[in-house]
Structure 1
Amino acid sequence: MTHILGPLLIVLVIALIRGSRGRTTRPSPAKAPPVRRAPVSFDAAAYGLAPLETLDPRRAGPPSPVRVRKESQALADAAWGGDWRSAAAHIEAAGNDWDEHWSRFELLRAVAHEDDAWLTAWREADPGNCDAAALEADMLVHRAWTIRGRGYADEVPAENMAKFRALLPAAIEAAQRASLLAPQNPAPWVVMVTAARGARYKPDRFQPLWDGLMASAPHHYEGHWQGMQYWCAKWYGSNKQMMAFAERAMDNAPAGSPLAGIYLHALNELEERRAALPSGAGAKKRLTAVIDALATVPADDDRLPVLRHLLAYHLGKAGMYEAALEQFRLIGPWCGAQVWSKDGEPTEVFHAARATAVEKSKAKPLPPHK
């Protein structure tokens, strides 16, 4: 079977993840804020920013290197051709770098979403492989969310909701069996933590799943994103519990980890619910700590661009315009992050936010290059 992966892979991964992250409660009505436009005279380049005409709203950061895209396509083609061993070797090569392991896990998920015959063959040939078993469980979770759809709960047909409710416990059971195959592998626990919300696990049932994940990978980024979702007010926690969770994740993260970004995502959850954002000296100190933490994250970490967009946005909301301006310089021409599209055309909103940062920080034009 021949497939074209490349851009399709990215679309599939995003669609699957968004499908499992759909809102189940409606935010309270609010008037859309007036769209602010940058002055026509604003010369972004004079302040070390990407010129307006170079802004790219198609993505939040630079595309993956051609080499990486070709390797992903080759891996997918091999799997679709029946070679599951290449997929097994690919994820095994991540070793104990569990964030990298999960990134490769998501790649295999996207490949299996297109055609999973190779995964079935892998499971049959090597039933003791934890990654294959966890991936099979993960596919059940995403199949459940595909059936449910991204609508609100009262918009989902009863038949679809019944199938959704039945698949998630089955996925958790499959992930529990997978966890026994390699206790040090966090992938099954991430699958369980992800499925727990839709499976209506109350905190007393969720906590053992979280403890299992923390025992194997205490700084797992995706696991913490899913944990933050569990503790937000639209699921089984509250704004206060969610923020406390995000702050703990950030405070316990080692240098080089992007976990400070969980705090930024938590701020977005507050905005979605029309809740007040943290303010005052403590809030600014926390955002300064996020700046410092993200400065230690490797530049090629593909989570970093989106986090820089969120950071620039929330620095602006907090009135920390000089710090926001520095983030805009680091972001470059990429303006396709969702945070800029919620209030209008992303290029326009992004450019206006940069102009505001320059104006409010009273920045001076940089000396011209000689």
Structure 2
Amino acid sequence: MSASIFPSLVGAVAALSVVLRRVGAAARAKAAVQRARAEQPAAPFDPVRHGLVPTAELDAERAAAPPPALVNKERQAVADAAWEGDWRPAAAYVAAAGEDWDERWLRQELLVAVAVHDADWLTEWREDQPGNCTAATVAAQLLVHQAWEVRGAGYADEVPADRMARFRQLLPAAFEAARRAALLSPTDPGPAVVMITVARAMRRPPEEFRPLWAELTARAPQHFDGHWQGLQYWCAKWCGSHAQMLDFAADALRRAPAGSPLAGIHLHALQELEKAAGPGALPTGQEASARLLAVGEALERLPADHERLPGLRHLLAYYLLLAGLHEAALEQFRLLGPWCGAAPWLGYRDPAVAFDRARAAAARGAGR
């Protein structure tokens, strides 16, 4: 099991992200690309003239440049140690994030992906440190992952009845595990994120969801993954409506502090709306444009190496283009460089072509 965490474990992390973050955004760029195709200039598009990387250098294998070798080495070491039966490096890896709750959650997701392959180390950690909130939360996260593996990734009406029934049978145990984990720490928001995830999956009514949300925001008011789960709860396909989802995202955008990715929740709301109702349902007008520009300003304040920045920047470039904010979209494409292995471009047979056509549309719209 310890042969290589990359790409094998990265694949597990990606699979876990599908379970915990069902953004479902990969195929939503078609309208923009079709528009871009229709608007192609007669002369060949010269990206270099617009400050963009050459078309030949586009790379659809990654959303951004690979992390530094030392980061990969650290993650590999954590996985190897766990698979060899030593939980201590995993515990230290999460503890090193301190009270940066967003970073801590990302590190816990890595541990869940490790445990998907072999969870003996996690069982031993729980036995050696029964009062450790992180260990208890990772165990609860693993239960959620296992339940969603049974369910599968389809919409509710696409899931076979027996699998849906088994999914619903497994969820209460995950909720109870998270509830007990919450008792182990008065400050760690991780257990609340798990409970919110399960409440959404179980379609619990708002009067049951709101106290869980209050618990999360009391512990970590700007928790990104918690807000993503909240957004999912309030979207129309789960427990709310388009209007409730958009209101939730607008509130997150207003409250997003400098240096936080929270403003990006607005982009995920646009994804959900476009998927459910088509690009014609997307907000338009000055207020909609102002919100997109506000998201762009928020992303400028994120550290350049923030793990969430590339994915959010790809979405921002796309929605700026759809909104006709060509100059702002073009700037995002410049910042993205050659990387196009992310939503929405991955929804196409050739993501690099889709990305390049979108860049061309932004350049033409900007009058360059």
TM, length-normalised to structure 1: 0.93
Q: 1:129 aligns with which of 129, 132, 135?
A: 132
Q: Give ranges in structure 1 of 5+ residues lacking alignment.
A: 364-370
Distance, in Å, in 2 between the alignment partners of 1:133 and 1:226 is: 20
Partner of 2:345: 340
Distance, in Å, in 2 between the alignment partners of 1:227 and 1:274 is: 20
1:66-215 to structure 2, matched below 5 A, reads: 66-215=69-218
CA contact (8 A) 2:196 2:226 kept: yes
Query: Does 1:7 pair with 2:4?
Result: no
Q: Give ranges in structure 2 of 5+ residues lacking alignment.
A: none
Distance, in Å, in 2 between the alignment partners of 1:23 and 1:220 is: 17
RMSD: 2.0
CA contact (8 A) 1:23 1:151 kept: no
CA contact (8 A) 2:87 2:122 kept: yes
Partner of 2:336: 331
Change (3 A) 1:355 1:79: same
Distance, in Å, in 2 between the alignment partners of 1:298 and 1:33 is: 30
Query: Shift of residue 22 of structure 1?
Result: 4.9
1:28-74 superposed Cα distances (whole Å, 9 cap, x missing partner) = xx999847445561110111101000000111111111111111111
CA contact (8 A) 2:33 2:354 kept: no
CA contact (8 A) 1:80 1:115 kept: yes
Structure 1 residue identity aligned to 2:220? A
Partner of 1:226: 229
Give runs of ≥4 in structure 1 deviating > 6 Å.
30-33
CA contact (8 A) 2:23 2:272 kept: no
Query: Does 1:258 pair with 2:230?
Result: no
Partner of 1:354: 359
Query: Shift of residue 21 of structure 1?
Result: 4.6
Distance, in Å, in 1 between the alignment partners of 2:155 and 2:267 is: 24
Partner of 1:366: none
Percent identity of paired positions between Structure 1 and Structure 2: 57
Distance, in Å, in 2 between the alignment partners of 1:274 and 1:67 is: 43
Query: Shift of residue 151 of structure 1?
Result: 2.2
Distance, in Å, in 1 between the alignment partners of 2:31 and 2:97 is: 47
CA contact (8 A) 1:35 1:343 kept: no
Query: Does 1:320 pair with 2:325?
Result: yes
1:233-272 to structure 2, matched below 5 A, reads: 233-272=236-275
Q: Which moved more, 1:15-24 or 1:303-312?
A: 15-24
1:142-187 superposed Cα distances (whole Å, 9 cap, x missing partner) = 1000011112323323332222101111111110000000010011
CA contact (8 A) 1:190 1:213 kept: yes
CA contact (8 A) 1:35 1:344 kept: no
- For the residue of structure 2 that corresponds to 1:73, the secondary structure is helix
Distance, in Å, in 2 between the alignment partners of 1:283 and 1:23 is: 21
Distance, in Å, in 2 between the alignment partners of 1:167 and 1:213 is: 23
Structure 2 residue identity aligned to 1:338? A
TM, length-normalised to structure 2: 0.93
Change (3 A) 1:20 1:99: closer
Query: Shift of residue 94 of structure 1?
Result: 1.1
Partner of 2:314: 309
Query: Shift of residue 17 of structure 1?
Result: 2.0
CA contact (8 A) 1:33 1:343 kept: no
1:214-273 superposed Cα distances (whole Å, 9 cap, x missing partner) = 010000011111110111011111111101111111111110001111001111111101
Change (3 A) 1:18 1:333: same
- For the residue of structure 2 that corresponds to 1:89, the secondary structure is helix
CA contact (8 A) 2:21 2:228 kept: no
Structure 2 residue identity aligned to 1:18? V
Structure 1 residue identity aligned to 2:285? G
Distance, in Å, in 2 between the alignment partners of 1:311 and 1:31 is: 15
CA contact (8 A) 2:48 2:54 kept: yes
Query: Shift of residue 7 of structure 1?
Result: 1.5
Partner of 1:17: 17
Distance, in Å, in 2 between the alignment partners of 1:163 and 1:107 is: 26
